[in-house]
């Protein structure tokens, strides 16, 4: 349980120096526990967002983009860890510096404006993921009940979102974090198992339901940004390193976690698309619970009108798993944003004050409004991944590390330059595709 509480500590204090300083005196976690923490941080909405990517990108490029995204995040995480270790080395007889948060490291490298920009970009991404999670919660409540619609359920759940946002800290939720991790892993296993079983639906059809290659290259930027977003762990790197008894072993824990999650993500993405092909639903729970009786029905009829095999127990079980995972994850992300706003020196939203409550309620209202306006989970997740994930996970860490570490070998500078160009291109092309998707919603 101690290692799981470290996840909550990491998620809630990545931007708060006071909380980070207090955590320095707490018991440290082992390398294995850090590995578990990283897996818990990484696994999340990617399990549900990735199976739809090959529909636009094709089997081959979708798998390649996922591998590229994982390798890129691995390099940027390693560089950020090295910069963090360098920033905390004692200078002569000075006391060791305690740079323990992403924002503090950005300020060390880029100054005050670097800190402000980093906080803004990371918080935009976290709020966007919260909006996607809110849409997903409404979707799963509809799947469970079959009454009202997703937007109505979103309004019904809003008071719960507000209640969780007004918690003074996340100590209560920390006890349930292992349950959320278990639910996420079971969700991935269920997607792989059910998709492989459901592949029998289309095997007797004469038409091909899969694409090896994309029909156009326009969606590739959004696909890459989604892959990078699925691996996003950069804001949690400093807190996790801070909590380790042997921070020099962080690279082992990181590589093991990325390999574990990468294999799981690759299986979910490829098996999910293999099982449902071009008729995969944006809500994969729908695809898992209903089957079309023919190719014509799959291509021309709404999924609610399919007359093939129906498995309502899958719909109920999957919806419960997703609700458990997302309902525990969403407050962690929202609380990180609250703490970031509260950490500024000119603080007009002191914790416990009316202004602080209004700030939190306003942010939750904005999250719900975004989910109401665009209730399609994959669209919202893809939009904010394109908008901020490449900057959060690739551009900023590499720039910060370059400023702190100084000169690097020529091949590594070239590699970093390629990653930055890849991130910038995926942001622009991904934003175009995502804006078109949002407009169509």
Q: What is the mean pLDDT of residues 419-428?
A: 89
E runs forming strands in 273-424: none
Residue 58 has pLDDT above 80, yes or no: yes
Residue 6 has pLDDT above 50, yes or no: no
Q: What is the dihedral of CA 205, 208, 209, 210, to 10 degrees?
A: 150
- 75 or 44: which leads in pLDDT: 75
Q: Distances from the Cα of 15 to the Cαs of 5, 105, 237, 356, in angstroms?
A: 17, 10, 12, 17
Q: What is the mean pLDDT of residues 79-86?
A: 93
Q: Tell me the pLDDT band of 5, cut-offs 50, 70 and 90.
A: very low
Q: Which domain holds residue 164?
A: 2-440
Residue 12 has pLDDT above 70, yes or no: no
Report how far residue 277's alpha carbon sits from residue 354's, in angstroms, rounded to the nearest whole number.
Answer: 51
Question: What are the pLDDT digits (tens) for 340-388?
Answer: 788 776 667 887 788 889 999 999 999 999 999 888 888 888 888 888 8
Handedness of CA 209, 215, 219, 225 (dihedral sign): positive
Q: Are 198 and 289 in contact (CB under 8 A)?
A: no
Please report, for the domain that includes residue 378, its CATH number. 1.20.1740.10
Write the DSSP string, 248-304: GGHHHHHHHHHHHHHHHHHHHHHHHHHHHGGG--SSHHHHHHB--SSHHHHHHS-GG
Question: What are the pLDDT digits (tens) for 297-311?
Answer: 998 898 888 999 888
- 120 or 221: which leads in pLDDT: 120
Q: Among 12, 34, 39, which Cα is nearest to 23's?
A: 12
Q: What is the mean pLDDT of residues 206-234?
A: 85
Q: What is the mean pLDDT of residues 321-327?
A: 87
Percentage of residues in the chain having pLDDT higher than 90:
36
Structure tokens at 9: 């500590």
Residue 181 has pLDDT above 50, yes or no: yes
Q: What is the mean pLDDT of residues 102-127?
A: 90
Q: Are 237 and 400 in contact (CB under 8 A)?
A: no
What's the confidence (pLDDT) of residue 407?
77
Handedness of CA 295, 298, 300, 306 (dihedral sign): positive
What's the confidence (pLDDT) of residue 96?
56
Q: Which residue has the tokens 């999910």?
A: 272
Q: Are 378 and 49 in contact (CB under 8 A)?
A: yes
Handedness of CA 194, 195, 199, 202 (dihedral sign): positive
Question: What are the pLDDT digits (tens) for 134-176?
Answer: 998 998 898 888 888 899 999 999 999 999 888 876 666 667 7
Total structural domains within the chain: 1
Report how far residue 264's alpha carbon sits from residue 282's, in angstroms, rounded to the nearest whole number.
Answer: 20
Q: Are 398 and 76 in contact (CB under 8 A)?
A: yes
Write the DSSP string, 333-358: HHHHHHHHHHTSSS-SS-TTSHHHHH
Q: Tell me the pLDDT band of 4, cut-offs 50, 70 and 90.
A: very low
Residue 62 has pLDDT above 90, yes or no: yes
Percentage of residues in the chain having pLDDT higher than 70:
90
Helix 220-230, helix 410-440: angle, nearest 10:
110
- 328 or 139: which leads in pLDDT: 139
Q: Tell me the pLDDT band of 318, cut-offs 50, 70 and 90.
A: very high
What's the confidence (pLDDT) of residue 17?
53
Summary mean pLDDT of the chain: 84
């Amino acid at each position: 349980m101690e290692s799981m509480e470290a996840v909550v500590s990491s998620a809630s204090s990545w931007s708060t120096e006071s909380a980070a300083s207090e955590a320095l005196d707490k018991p440290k976690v082992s390398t294995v526990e850090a590995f578990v923490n990283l897996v818990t941080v990484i696994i999340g909405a990617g399990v549900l967002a990735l199976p739809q990517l090959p529909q636009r990108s094709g089997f081959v490029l979708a798998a390649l983009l996922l591998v590229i995204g994982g390798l890129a995040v691995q390099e940027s995480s390693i560089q950020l860890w090295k910069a963090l270790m360098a920033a905390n080395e004692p200078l002569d007889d000075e006391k060791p510096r305690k740079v323990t948060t992403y924002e503090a490291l950005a300020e060390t490298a880029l100054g005050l404006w670097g800190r402000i920009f980093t906080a803004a970009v990371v918080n935009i991404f976290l709020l966007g993921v919260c909006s996607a999670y809110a849409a997903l919660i409404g979707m799963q409540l509809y799947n469970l009940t079959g009454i009202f619609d997703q937007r109505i359920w979103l309004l019904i759940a809003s008071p719960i979102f507000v209640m969780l946002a007004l918690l003074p800290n996340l100590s209560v939720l920390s006890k349930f974090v292992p349950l959320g991790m278990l639910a996420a892993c079971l969700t991935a296993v269920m997607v792989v198992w059910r998709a492989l079983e459901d592949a029998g639906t289309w095997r007797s059809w004469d038409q091909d339901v899969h694409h090896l290659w994309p029909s156009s290259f326009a969606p590739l930027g959004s696909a890459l940004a989604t892959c990078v977003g699925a691996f996003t762990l950069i804001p949690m790197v400093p807190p996790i390193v801070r909590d380790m008894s042997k921070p020099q072993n962080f690279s082992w824990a990181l590589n093991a976690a990325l390999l574990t999650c990468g294999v799981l993500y690759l299986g979910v993405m490829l098996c999910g698309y293999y099982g449902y092909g071009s008729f995969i639903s944006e809500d994969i729970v729908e695809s898992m619970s209903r089957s079309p009786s023919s190719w014509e029905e799959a291509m021309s009829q709404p999924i609610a009108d399919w007359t093939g095999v129906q498995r309502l127990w899958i719909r109920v079980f999957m919806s419960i798993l997703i609700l458990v995972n997302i309902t525990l994850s969403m407050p962690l992300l929202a609380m990180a944003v609250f703490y970031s706003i509260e950490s500024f020196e000119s603080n007009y939203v002191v914790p416990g004050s009316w202004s602080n409550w209004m700030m939190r309620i306003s942010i939750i209202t904005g999250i719900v409004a975004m989910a109401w306006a665009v209730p399609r989970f994959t669209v919202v997740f893809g939009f904010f991944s394109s908008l901020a994930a490449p900057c959060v996970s690739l551009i900023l860490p590499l720039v910060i590390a370059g400023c702190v570490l100084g000169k690097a070998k020529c091949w590594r500078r070239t590699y970093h330059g390629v990653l930055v160009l890849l991130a910038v291109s995926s942001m622009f092309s991904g934003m175009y595709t995502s804006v078109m998707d949002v407009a169509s919603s």
